[in-house]
Amino acid sequence: MINNYSAEDKVLLAVDCIIFGFDKEDLKILLIKRDFEPEKGKWSLMGGFLQQQENLDEAASRILRTLTGINNVYMEQLHSYSKVDRDPAERTISVAYYALINIQDHNEELIEKYSAKWFSVAKAPDLIFDHNIMVRHAISRLRYKTSKEPIGFELLPPKFTMRQLQKLYEAILDEKLDKRNFINKINGMDILVKLKEKDMNSSRKGSFLHMFDEQKYNRKKADGFSFKL
């Protein structure tokens, strides 16, 4: 006989998404302006509630797709937040995810529809509830993961310059990197393909474009290679 749970407390389960992008110069976060109470008119992470017929990963993918129009992005569950009074409207537990997207791929019309805006991570406004804590945790996780795995390439277009790659890691790590040491370290990993094409916007002579060779990286990883920046 199935147990009767009717006497148990009911709580809402929310999913909040920290969406990171990179505009070739700075690490960005996508925020929405809340259009309902509580905290109407304030900035917030994009979120929603878990539906009956989906798991947490599916809920996070749905929320990301709703705001950006993008499928199949890098996404990772971050942490759960269960402070009793974290949402003044009703008892709500939130599971946070962070996602990395190529900022050029998002749907501008969807972002306008939800009054969303890209902010520099360093200059983002205060957020509602415990969303500031979620963002801090996500940045900490992102810094750790990008030093151990090549997930940073998810924030870049398929073709990029070495300068853009260095600027990306400087933005994530929030520190200046020595150009020569950085290039030597990246080249030493042998996971990039140098193209004959050049980005002519960077200088008069232009800068060679590169691509991340994911298949080569996976083969090297299977042989024991460890990505370390």
CB 129 within 8 A of CB 49: no
| Rounded average pLDDT over 158-165 | 95
The confidence score (pLDDT) of residue 139 equals 97
Side chain identity at 180, as an amino acid letter?
Answer: R
Domain identity same for 68 and 144: yes
**CATH assignment of the domain containing 171:** 1.10.10.10
User: Is the confidence at residue 203, as pLDDT, over 80?
Assistant: no
Asked if residues 189 and 164 have their Cβ atoms less than 8 Å apart, the reply is no
| pLDDT for 164 | 94
Task: Please check whether residue 51 lies inside any domain of the structure.
Answer: yes
Of 103, 123, 148, the one marking the end of a domain is 148
Structure confidence at residue 91 (pLDDT): 95
pLDDT, residue 67, reads 87
What does the alpha-carbon distance between residue 80 and residue 94 come to, in Å, rounded to a whole number?
A: 6
138 and 179 inside one domain: no
What is the distance between the alpha carbons of residues 174 and 185, in angstroms, rounded to a whole number? 18
User: In terms of domains, do 208 and 176 share one?
Assistant: yes
| Alpha helix positions (H), the chain | 56-68, 108-113, 131-148, 162-173, 179-189, 214-222
The CATH number of the domain holding residue 85 is 3.90.79.10
pTM of the model: 0.93
Arithmetic mean of pLDDT, 74-81: 97
pLDDT of residue 1: 52
Q: At which of 94, 125, 148 does a domain end?
A: 148
Q: Do residues 94 and 191 share a domain?
A: no
In a domain, 7, yes or no: no
Kindly report each contact of residues 50-53 with a partner whose C-beta sits within 8 Å and lies 24 or more positions away, as own/partner: 50/13, 50/14, 50/15
One domain, residues 20 and 112: yes
Asked whether residue 126 is domain-assigned, the answer is yes
Tokens of 30: 């996508």
**Cβ-proximal residues to 216 (8 Å cutoff; 6+ apart), any chain:** 190, 191
pLDDT in tens, 12-24: 999 999 999 999 8
- Return the pLDDT at 33: 93
- Cα separation, 21 vs 124, in Å, equals 13
In angstroms, the CA 118 to CA 206 distance is 28
pLDDT averaged over every residue in the chain: 92
Place of tokens 């310059």: 161
Instruction: Provide the pLDDT for residue 229.
Output: 83
> Distance between CA 227 and CA 225 in Å, rounded?
7
Of the candidates 169, 170, 174, 167, which has an alpha carbon nearest to the alpha carbon of residue 151? Answer: 169
pLDDT of 2 reads 64
Question: pLDDT tier at 111 (50, 70, 90 boundaries)?
Answer: confident
Task: Provide the percentage of residues in the chain whose pLDDT is more than 90.
Answer: 77
* Tens digit of each residue's pLDDT (9 = 90 or more) over 172-184: 999 999 999 999 9
88 and 185 together in one domain: no
pLDDT of residue 206 exceeding 90, the answer is no
Residues 134 and 164 in one domain: no
Residue pLDDT, tens place only, 115-155: 889 999 999 999 999 999 999 999 999 999 999 999 999 99
Give residue 59's domain range: 12-148
